[in-house]
Amino acid sequence: MTKENCLIVHAAGKQLDLLRGEASRIAKASKVDWSSDRADVGTRFCFEDAKAKETFASACDSLGIPCRDG
């Protein structure tokens, strides 16, 4: 999967589990794949399309979890 539709989040433990659930739900609703892996600082979440990425960014914002393009 390309890194153009990726966000790096700074979360751990239960917050990270919550974000993985959100990513799965968003990807399923958008009918796209997603992945997550460790980044230099935080965890990288990648989606197949930009719309899913933006929806995930909004979810991060609403949960108060910092994220940035990555």
CA–CA dist 70, 28 (Å, integer)? 22
pLDDT tens-digit map of 54-68: 999 999 999 999 999
The answer to whether position 60 is within a domain reads yes
The DSSP H or E segment spanning 44 is: strand 43-47
Q: How many domains does the chain have?
A: 1
Torsion over CA of 46, 48, 53 and 54, rounded to 10 degrees? 170
The CATH number of the domain holding residue 39 is 3.30.70
Binned at pLDDT 50, 70 and 90, residue 4 comes out as: confident
List strand residue ranges (DSSP E) for 1-70, in order: 6-9, 34-38, 43-47, 67-69
Binned at pLDDT 50, 70 and 90, residue 1 comes out as: low
The answer to whether position 61 is within a domain reads yes
Can you give the pTM of this predicted structure? 0.91
